[in-house]
Structure 1
Amino acid sequence: MIDALRAFIEAHQAALSLIILAAMFVGFLMERLPATVIAILGACTYLALGILDADGLYSVFSNSAPIVIGAMFVLSGALIRTGVIQRVADAIMKRAEKHPRLAIVEVLVGALVASAFLNNTPVVVVLIPIMLKLSEVTGVSAKKLLMPLSIAAVLGGTLTLIGTSTNLVVDGIVRQAGMERFGIFEITPIGLVTAASGMIGLALMWWLLPSDKSMTGPAGTHDAHQYLTELVLDEDDDLVGMTVEAFRDLPRSGRIVGVRRGSAVVRGGDLEHWTLAAGDRLIVRVDGATLMTWREQGRFRLGIGSGEPAEGDMVVETMIASNHPAIGQRLADIPFLQKVRARVIGLDRPAHEPGPDLASIRIRPADRLLVAGGPREVEALRDNPHLIGADLAKVRAFRRGKAWIAILCMIAVVALAAFDILSIGVAAIIAIGVILVTRCIDSEEAWGTIDGDVLILIFAMLAVGLALEQSGAVAMMVGWVEPLLVGQPMWVLIFGIYFFALILSELLSNNAVAALMTPVTLAIAAQLGVDPRPLVIALMIGASACFATPIGYQTNTIVYAAGDYRFVDFVKIGVPLNIITGVSTCFAISFFIT
């Protein structure tokens, strides 16, 4: 019985492979399970049926593409950790104060350029608050800004080999197939045409973008962790005798909400011109990373409490439980501040600004606290049944002194790969070694920046692609389409590959489409006796430059939620934009490459 079953599978493995692939497509479309889970189930099914052998499964882990992608995640994380990204964002906001509408164009162009070298997901995440602030300043609906932000980031990913993980996946597969690897800027001439046509098309269709107000709220309220804190001025502080507006250490995302002198709190329009004195408390709303940076610098005494900073102190992040006995009481009156040597250095209440100062805040359930104290105090917080999730704070101080190292490492990776001195994978791994040794980012943070879902999805889909190839399914698919393509000019092949990849990528993961279609594309080129390189480039860009659905690309999904869009909003802009960029790209490939 078992032998008969094995013989049946071996005789029909190509057809069975396509049935499994079709079932995976249905799973991707239904979204009942995450795409990563479906991809793993598909790979496991091929393995269980013997269509994919163990050696084939292990071989996918030798593919360099996922390693390079993971390395680029870490390098992007180092730029965030050292404050480079925040400094850039602050510079943009300063520019926006004088020329807000021009700043919108500059942010979009900046997103496009940055996404050519950085993972575009963190680029979009960092720029969303800037776009929301620009919406507030200019009166332009956030819905007219956030979708273009995603589109610009996607277009930027087509400019270089490292612009998107899809390009790296394709490059890894073609190199494994024996084809010469792509240079980092080899696709740039085509990408420039794609990006230019996309941005021009976006400008022409600006009027189609929705203009109603989103549910996002005022700029900055989307930030889950903006802490209210207090900075105590010592007698020898440089700010003593100066006005509030002289305080320059605040990022653009933060703001001074008041000054406390004795029992009086000054807020409102006259605040900037208030002259500071020793003992004044600056009441500030700021992100966690900046707050931790101030604590590390030791210039200010932060927050409230009976304890003074001491060597070995840790910072714990915890949340007030709904059964806390201090609910409704002032923060300064909660018992543990009187009983232990600890300081509350910040309180976060999302979508609401507590106040008027840190001490006077009335405690509510789900308030998030940053508390500094020694080992005994930390243990006491963890044992407190009225606090949820008391653990070491995940927010870290910026390492601004290391910023130049992170920047040079990123530049070196691009330069070494561009001049063919080192492969991009080797250069990126060496750069990671440098940023870890120089402590631009700690090792646990570095590994935390890697999106495990992306890497596992890629490995699983590489295994699926290999199973299709080994089973003869790829040859079967080529046999179906070959009669339609024989004798066709190259530009027809380019258009066909591009738009087939585009349609699939609007429905499925870009990386999954790249992993599946690359072997098919190479097989078609070999069967027809044509140069595979133009077809592979068409596949790279077609699998990335998709705008018609919020699930077509990860950045689309991010702004879909942040801007409170409807599905049809993407369709109205995305379909014509897909056509404009697709036609321009295919003609450019036909002109430059063939």
Structure 2
Amino acid sequence: MELLADFIAAHRAVIGLVLLAGIFIAFLWERFPPSVVAVGGAGVMLALGLLDEKAAYGVFSNSAPLTVGAMFVLSGALIRTGVIDRVGNYVVDLARRSPRLAVVAVFGGGLVVSGFINSTPFVVVMMPVCFRLAEAMGVSPKRLLMPLSIVAVLGGCLTLVGTSTNLVVAGIAEQAGLEPFGLFSITPYGLAIAGAGILGLLVMARFLPSDSPRIAEKADGSEQLYLTELTLREDDPAIGSALGEANLDFTPIGVISGGRFITGPDARAHVLAAGNRIVARIDGASLMTLRGGGRFGIGIGDKLDKEAMVAEVTVSPSHREIDRRLGEIPFLQGQPVRILGVSRFRHNPGPTLSENRIRAADRLLVEADEADIERLRANPGLIGVAMTSITAFRRRKAWIAILVMAGAVLLSALGAMSIGIAAFIGVGIVLLTRCIDASEAWASIDGDVLILIFAMLAVGAALEAAGSVALVVGALEPVLTHAPPWAVIAIVYFSAMLLSELLSNNAVAALMGPLVIGIADVSGVAPYPLLIALMMGASACFATPVGYQTNTLVYAAGDYRFVDFVRVGVPLNILTGIAGCTALAFWSP
């Protein structure tokens, strides 16, 4: 054991680099999730003594992971209070009047919004909007989904809180004793990259794929939309207005009047009257919000009191009434229940709720009292009968969530407090005001991201303590000492970009952060341009579907091929890289 300890002590720096290479290979191998690889690597370094106990615990004092977690919760509050949903409905309504203006609103707004909230939930929420926007424009969703991801990534480069990668690098800089980054410290360089990216996207638009053989079926199924009918009451303010001009919180697909289902332009021009049933496809949270509002009579079946509960019911393949109209199924006549909506995986049920023919695995939202829900559980033709986990939006608290997010950004921008402290206070406010429940808040935090950040910060600290960083920087010193500043910036930027096309962005930022600070020391280039180059290079990567989380999301939802990203992403990588490096070289912070 003593010989082994002596060997490790004599070759600490080299062992650290070997372990770093092993972590890199494990990331590429993808046998384990990145967070598991990072924790395993940090554990090995602790076991070998490359990182001592004090330094390991010191990692948890870094503000970056806490800031990331707080921003996840604030983003979750915006979603929970229906702010993002209202934006989506506005865009779809705008698309009916001016599709081109709607595209500008989606991507222009997405660029700004992604600078302040996590881009992943933003893209998740906006994907169904893009499907509906593509339908309104008569184009393939593929022409909108990839640009949505690209714009979200570009928006993340605009502020320090735009991506968790930015916060990781900022945390490493602060841990090294450098002056903390401000919220808008990186904005000028992010604008240069975003401008080049938008210009490149406009030029590359002709190369975006337009074939969509299976997407039409996925347009609504991926979001769990429910087909429903909403009956107008006698005193509804929409009575006397055309359907296309009515003030609704959802996008209708038609109206039932006098027993006739009207769609298309005729439906939009139809003057609404009491008793008309508006047919719509909306998500579960919006449906529950409408149910709680009491404006409409929702669904088909018996009218129940307000104390009724809502259950989710799945139709069994052995159901005796398969292919029968929903309005005719026996339990609807035999029990005092009401069907609020029906959802079908990757397909659109219809044409209306009552006329929809039952298929195996159809999911129904059913309103009933406790006794009747127990009877539904005993029905052999129904499976998975359980109280729904879908909850209504808390729209009355939307203004609180908006003010809290805006306040956190403003306080940080004015230098009154750091973004981490402002966001943490904001979390307390949205929890105390019930904008979001505690369980929902913690569920909105991506634990894998936080664990990955903490573990890779530990790996970076171990490399620093073992002398591995100094060894690498020493080997590069002859080249970097005589290289012009622009070349050093370009080396850092494109190295980070290439690695991020293969590895987690946060992992690349944490791996390269200490190296970049060391490179700044020997090259004579100020550390801030190099650290910003690391932030931008690790985030602005578009050439593979695994280069960024949002790329992976749209890759699956849009049924893209790998080569689709390569064809569009490589030119964008080069163009944004040149713009970013030029801005950093000639306008250094």
In structure 2, the residue matched to 1:9 is: 8
Aligned residue for 1:165?
Answer: 164
Cα pair 1:226 1:350 within 8 Å, conserved: no
Give the C-alpha shift of residue 99 in structure 1.
3.0
- In the alignment, which residue of structure 2 is the partner of 1:255? 252
Match of 1:295 in 2: 291
Note if 1:516 corresponds to 2:515. no
Inter-CA distance 181–141: structure 2 relative to 1 (3 Å threshold): same
Q: Secondary structure at the match of 2:143?
A: helix
DSSP 3-state at the match of 1:344: strand
Say if 1:143 and 1:214, in contact at 8 Å, map to a contact too.
no
Aligned to 1:310: 306
2:586 — aligned with what?
591
- Asked whether 1:187 is paired with 2:186, we answer yes
Residues 133, 219 of structure 1: 8 Å contact kept: no
Bigger mean CA deviation after superposition, 67-76 or 213-222: 213-222
- Of residues 567-576 and 96-105 in structure 1, the stretch that sits farther from structure 2 once superposed is 96-105
CA contact (8 A) 1:141 1:214 kept: no
Letter in 2 for 1:209: L
Identify which range, 555-564 or 542-551, moves more after superposition.
Answer: 555-564
Structure 1 residues 307 and 52, CA gap change in structure 2 (3 angstroms): farther
User: Residue in 2 aligned with 1:227?
Assistant: 226
Matches within 5 A, 1:96-495: 96-213=95-212, 215-217=214-216, 220-238=219-237, 244-245=243-244, 247-251=246-250, 254-259=251-256, 264-268=259-263, 270-272=266-268, 278-306=274-302, 308-311=304-307, 313-332=308-327, 334=329, 336-337=331-332, 341-378=336-373, 387-495=382-490
Change (3 A) 1:284 1:128: closer
Any idea what SS the aligned residue of 1:52 has? coil
Unaligned runs of 5+ in 1: none
Percent of residue pairs bearing the same amino acid type: 55
Deviates more, 1:178-187 or 1:198-207: 198-207
Q: Name the count of aligned residue pairs.
A: 588
Partner of 2:74: 75
Say if 1:521 and 1:381 are closer, same or farther in 2 by CA, change over 3 A: farther
1:548-584 CA-to-partner distances (Å, cap 9, x unmatched) read 1111111111222222222122222222221211122
Q: State how far apart, in whole Å, the 1-side matches of 2:73 and 2:378 are.
A: 35
* One-letter amino acid of the counterpart of residue 303, structure 1: G
TM-score (norm 1): 0.91
Q: Which string of whole-angstrom CA distances, capped at 9 and with x for unpartnered residues, describes residues 305-340 of structure 1?
A: 4461333x3322232233445544444455554665
Offset, 1:380: 5.3
What is the match of residue 574 of structure 1?
A: 569
Give the deviation of 1:528 after TM superposition: 4.3
Aligned residues of 1:260 and 1:283 also touching (Cα < 8 A): no
CA gap of 1:357–1:585, structure 2 versus 1, over 3 A, is closer
Measure, in 2, the Cα distance between the counterparts of 1:576 and 1:353.
37
What is the distance in 1 between the residues matched to 2:8 and 2:334? 71
**CA pair 131-281 structure 1, distance change in 2 beyond 3 A:** closer
CA positional deviation for 1:106: 3.6
Question: For residues 281-315 of structure 1, what are the alpha-carbon distances to aligned partners after superposition, in whole Å with 9 as ceiling and x for unaligned?
Answer: 4443222122111111122332234461333x332
**TM-score, normalising length from structure 2?**
0.92
What amino acid is the match of 1:453?
Answer: D
Structure 1 counterpart SS, 2:574: helix
Measured at CA, do residues 475 and 292 of structure 1 come closer, stay the same or move farther in structure 2, by a change above 3 Å? same
d(CA) in 2 for partners of 1:375, 1:460: 48
Q: Is contact 1:214–1:565 with CA below 8 Å preserved after alignment?
A: no
Deviation at residue 85 of structure 1 after TM alignment: 1.5
Alpha-carbon distance in structure 1 between the residues aligned to 2:564 and 2:320: 47
**Aligned mates of 1:219, 1:96 — CA distance in 2:** 20
- Point out where structure 2 has 5 or more consecutive residues left out of the alignment: none
Quick one: structure 1 residues 385 and 63, their matched pair in 2 at CA, closer, same or farther if it must change by over 3 Å?
farther
Instruction: Please tell me whether the aligned partners of residues 86 and 249 of structure 2 are also in contact (alpha carbons under 8 angstroms).
Output: no
- Cα distance in 2 between the residues matched to 1:422 and 1:315: 45
Contact persistence 1:169–1:511 (CA under 8 A): yes
Alignment RMSD:
2.6
